[in-house]
Chain A
Amino acid sequence: KAGVTQTPRYLIKTRGQQVTLSCSPISGHRSVSWYQQTPGQGLQFLFEYFSETQRNKGNFPGRFSGRQFSNSRSEMNVSTLELGDSALYLCASSLERGADEAFFGQGTRLTVV
């Protein structure tokens, strides 16, 4: 079965712009989580969605938001981009709980210039 698909793979934006990233989970998986990976920081949890509802949120500013659609696909939005938002954004899907074994997409590499 198809894995987790993230689009786009690479993105370059300028400061102040906003960006939307997309994630299609594994078919049948209802939980979608988003993580930010930066050098030296590991993977930091952004938020988790289940059945179109945000179930858990990490310690990121309100500029970071997301949503989940009825088909479990999820989008993540970052507004008023800052240079420090440059990172690899990873989406993970799980059957029921974002805290269980999660399957990751290849990520979207965002560069803010």
Chain B
Amino acid sequence: DQQVKQNSPSLSVQEGRISILNCDYTNSMFDYFLWYKKYPAEGPTFLISISSIKDKNEDGRFTVFLNKSAKHLSLHIVPSQPGDSAVYFCAASESNFGNEKLTFGTGTRLTIIP
């Protein structure tokens, strides 16, 4: 049972345009969401997060939007740069003490075309 879903395995975007990566979740107990970026042969790197009390969080070129009613979040990268080419993982967690884990999606491979 995949509680966090990234339905697009891959995405190609022209350099300079906006990249939009999507993520859906089914567990209504999730209240903290994160995006990680992963290059080949490296571990995932934390990118940006959002708490369920917010619907938007921005950090430079990266913005995460959360739609709780739809159980959907998205990561916007603008403008997209060649160095953004990587696999992006969406992750979710609960505040419930005793459930200390991140639940990850299967990832979306983003390719930025120069």
> Residues of A at under 8 Å CB distance from B?
4, 6, 31, 33, 35, 40-45, 48, 50, 55-56, 58, 90, 92, 97-107
Q: Is the interface of B mostly helix, strand, loop or mixed?
A: loop
The answer to whether B32 has its CB under 8 Å from any CB of chain A is: yes
Bound-state Cα–Cα, A33 to B93, Å = 13
Interface size on B, residues (CB 8 A): 26
Minimum Cβ distance to chain B for residue A94 (Å): 8
A-B contact pairs, 21 of them (CB 8 A): A35-B104, A40-B106, A42-B104, A43-B89, A45-B101, A48-B100, A48-B101, A58-B101, A92-B102, A98-B101, A98-B102, A99-B93, A99-B95, A99-B101, A101-B34, A101-B46, A102-B46, A104-B44, A105-B43, A106-B41, A106-B42
